[in-house]
Amino acid sequence: MDTSLTQRWPLFVGLGAISFGLGIMAWVDALAVSLASTILFGVLLFVAGTVQLVHAFVVRDWSGRLMSIAGGALYILAGTMMMEEPSTGSMVITLFISACLVVSGIARIIMAFQQRGLQGWWFILLGGLISLLVGVCLYVTLPWSGLWLIGTFIAVELIAAGIGWVQFGFALRQANYIPPAN
């Protein structure tokens, strides 16, 4: 193990503590985080659309120019709408996530039944049922689920990352520890 890395274990613990703390803050106000994330996503779409439009007008002899202009315009439109109405944008994103969960859940359920001869096939079935249930619950609870889902996902990610970094830092500290000679 690189000794310079093991000596910097407190930096990893600090990173983890900050990530964990930010995750808790995001969880406490998941609504604000959801709306802020949706606005940021809208800004990114707007910028990407603008760049795509500029590119389409610079590359005039390209056969895909018209589709690129249409795509750029749609990005700008979607980005503008998400910035102006972040709660609606958040609900659209939640609806998309819900649909993905339902589809992937059904696919895993089908796959599980096709593989029922294998030991542990029911784990795939259970995972599929959970995805299906979560997707349906998100859909049924719209519009409210759209207001907290994205913020909650960000909070969970920050908390999980924080725990991971703290654990890694303490593991580095343990690797750096040299017991006293008898």
Q: Residue 65 domain-assigned?
A: no
Q: Residue 29 domain-assigned?
A: yes
Q: Residue 76 domain-assigned?
A: no
Q: Is the CA virtual torsion 41, 46, 52, 54 positive or negative?
A: negative
Q: Residue 31 domain-assigned?
A: yes
Q: Residue 81 domain-assigned?
A: no
Q: Residue 179 domain-assigned?
A: no
pLDDT per residue as tens, the chain (182 positions): 566 778 889 999 999 999 999 999 999 999 999 999 999 999 999 999 999 999 999 988 888 889 999 999 999 999 999 999 999 999 999 999 999 999 999 999 999 999 888 888 899 999 999 999 999 999 999 999 989 999 999 999 999 999 999 999 998 888 876 666 66
- With 0-12 / 13-18 / 19 or more C-beta atoms within 10 angstroms meaning exposed / middle / buried, residue 26 is buried
Residue 5 one-letter amino acid: L
Domain ranges, residue 143: 3-35+86-174
- List the structure tokens of 62: 């390209």
Q: What is the dihedral of CA 67, 70, 76, 77, to 10 degrees?
A: -140
- List the structure tokens of 13: 């613990």
Q: Residue 93 domain-assigned?
A: yes
pTM above 0.85, yes or no: no
Number of domains forming the structure of the chain: 1
